[in-house]
Structure 1
Amino acid sequence: MELLHSGKVRDVYADGDDLVLVASDRMSIFDVILPTPIPDKGKILTQLSLWWFDQLSDVVPNHIISSTDVPEEWQGRAIRCERLEMVKVECIARGYLAGSGLKDYQRDGAISGVPLPPGLVEGSRLPEAIFTPTTKEAVGAGHDAPMTFAEVVAQEGQDQADELRRITLEIYRRGSEIAAGKGILIADTKIELGLKDGELKLGDELLTPDSSRFWAADEWQPGSVQRYLDKQVLRDWATKETDWDRTEPGPELPEHVVEATRNRYVEVYERLTGDRWS
């Protein structure tokens, strides 16, 4: 197989007409790959994504061909999938105020051109989930930038822009309903969509701790810091306990941060799927 691309987390190989996506244990924050891996992370992301692809297969088709027809050394962390022509838009849905969305709201009263009511605070539930797309920049090419829906229309055309928004919001709605029944709030999530024979399909990963903000529902309290069940623990550590300037190279992670991060990924997997991680 030929290595086509090495991303922040996944390596993409060509195998005939198919692609093989291998999820590594690499961790990235602020668009920088950190030097310290998180044990089992790649397997957890892959297995959780497969679970979600199955749960939401009636919403939109996905790129999965096989989760077992991959080289033995990558079993559990790799999938065989279709080649998609990826849409050059990061499709993001937000149901709560957090992260960069919170900063944009505090500055503009809006996110990606979507106005929001005054008086919201960190962790506030939005009146309804909103589509807040960004550009999709290559690794090392800079940060993704917010896009308005009008800008998505100008880039992708009205019909495709409408579908990107519809699919993203429906994935978020359905995923949030399922997660809420397991005691998890999905604050926001990012999905990847691509075209195959003119049809939009889900690619990459789906509703994982890398692509989403997960909060413990029973501890949710607007106006305060939530208990994150995702990689926010790393962002908080890097921001509060280091003087790192968010450029290459990233800092080495201490053992207790590695363990705390892995524990959150395992907790999300077990809560959502109902299976024990072994």
Structure 2
Amino acid sequence: MSQAIKETYFNFPGQVGFYKGKVRDVYIFEKELVVVASDRISAFDVVLPRAIPFKGQVLNQIAAKFLKATSDIVPNWVTAVPDPNVTIGKRCEPFKVEMVIRGYLSGHAAREYKAGKRLICGVTMPEGMIENDRFPNPIITPTTKASEGHDEDISKEQILAQGIVSSEDYSILERYTRALFERGQQMAAEMGLILVDTKYEFGKFGKEIYLIDEIHTPDSSRYFYADGYEENQKNEMPQKQLSKEFVRQWLISNGFQGKEGQEIPEMTDEIVESISDRYIELFEKITGEKFHKATTEQIEKRIENSILSHLS
């Protein structure tokens, strides 16, 4: 099996801090961030015990493609992608909200709807919808960025009342979110896909707002196959998805949903390889490009040298 990057422990000249996220290792410099997309995989807010070869490369390269393709809409944090698993960019001050936008009644919104709720994050959902129906217009359902545990739903009114984001900045975030989602849906349609919902994160560098983090990846977005969508809706059948939902479904079928007392099922070599293959399939379907596996021999050395070469 190919090697995978579980975690990194580099120490670079000029580094002032380090942050280990669920799946990324972030090296902090005075004005820059160096982000290593590891091969860790999380589901139900739990990092699973085994890393998935090429997963980090898949997400890093999808994000790089879409950030470049949307840079005419909003400036983004990226200044270099010196390695298939590394992105370097401006050290922005993040807004403490994630801008979630939904074009369809799916996922969390569908669960709320089934529970009888018609209001989500202060936005009214129409009556008479079934799961995966398209909303008349995309809805923005923000969440607060939790430093630990689950992000929480929050309304625009609460964000403004609590002073989390100023009214002026929030209107810019909304405008950027809608424009990015429209571009993402157009690009998905060209690949025979539907971009169902996604989330964007923004930050400030000086006084300017930048798009930060990854965008339109299968970890941050939900895609349906366009072919068969109408037929499935008419017959109230599940939609064929392109996201990491298949990982969640494998865990659920093996008795794990991240709840207390539940044990993560054994991840055999076969399971790990099949997840890796699915991520590569996701890359090729979303981007329309052939995936080229980076060398995994001395993988950490390769990444460290790429970063050092950029820093020098």
TM-score scaled to structure 1, two decimals? 0.91
Post-superposition Cα deviations, 1:222-249, rounded to whole Å, max 9, x if no partner, equal: 3332222111011112223314543587
The question of 1:37 aligning with 2:51 is answered: yes
Which of the numbers 136, 145, 154 marks the counterpart of 1:147?
154
Paired residues of 1:34 and 1:251 also in contact (CA < 8 A): no
Report the residue type matching 2:244 in the other structure.
K
Q: 1:58 to 1:260 in 2, by over 3 A?
A: same
Which of the numbers 178, 194, 200 marks the counterpart of 1:169?
178
Unaligned runs of 5+ in 2: 1-11, 293-312
The question of 1:234 aligning with 2:266 is answered: no
Aligned length: 270
Post-superposition Cα deviations, 1:32-64, rounded to whole Å, max 9, x if no partner, equal: 111122210100111111100111111100001
* Structure 1 residue 271, shift from structure 2 partner: 2.5
Report the residue type matching 1:87 in the other structure.
F
SS in 1 for 2:182: helix
Aligned residue runs from structure 1 range 197-236, under 5 A: 197-220=206-229, 221-222=232-233, 223-236=236-249
* Structure 1 residue 173, shift from structure 2 partner: 1.0
* Structure 1 residue 274, shift from structure 2 partner: 2.4
Report the residue type matching 1:183 in the other structure.
G
Report the residue type matching 1:152 in the other structure.
I
SS in 1 for 2:137: strand
Paired residues of 1:187 and 1:213 also in contact (CA < 8 A): yes
Q: Which of these two proteins has the greater Rg computed from alpha carbons? A: 2
> Which residue of structure 1 lines up, in the alignment, with residue 99 of structure 2?
91
Two-structure CA RMSD over aligned residues (Å): 1.8
Paired residues of 2:45 and 2:258 also in contact (CA < 8 A): no
Post-superposition Cα deviations, 1:112-165, rounded to whole Å, max 9, x if no partner, equal: 121111121121111111101001111xx2211101111122221211111121
> Which residue of structure 2 lines up, in the alignment, with residue 72 of structure 1?
none
> Which residue of structure 1 lines up, in the alignment, with residue 141 of structure 2?
132
Which of the numbers 55, 58, 80 marks the counterpart of 2:88?
80
SS in 2 for 1:90: strand
Paired residues of 2:256 and 2:263 also in contact (CA < 8 A): no
Unaligned runs of 5+ in 1: 69-74
Give, in whole Å, the separation in 1 of the partners of 2:191 and 2:257. Answer: 36
> Which residue of structure 2 lines up, in the alignment, with residue 181 of structure 1?
190
Paired residues of 2:195 and 2:222 also in contact (CA < 8 A): yes
Report the residue type matching 1:265 in the other structure.
Y
* Structure 1 residue 199, shift from structure 2 partner: 1.1
Q: 1:121 to 1:226 in 2, by over 3 A?
A: same
Which of the numbers 262, 265, 273 marks the counterpart of 2:287?
273
Give, in whole Å, the separation in 1 of the partners of 2:160 and 2:257. Answer: 37
Q: 1:152 to 1:16 in 2, by over 3 A?
A: closer
Give, in whole Å, the separation in 1 of the partners of 2:165 and 2:227. Answer: 40
Q: 1:11 to 1:243 in 2, by over 3 A?
A: closer
> Which residue of structure 2 lines up, in the alignment, with residue 71 of structure 1?
none
> Which residue of structure 1 lines up, in the alignment, with residue 110 of structure 2?
102
TM-score scaled to structure 2, two decimals? 0.81
Q: 1:112 to 1:219 in 2, by over 3 A?
A: same
Report the residue type matching 1:92 in the other structure.
V
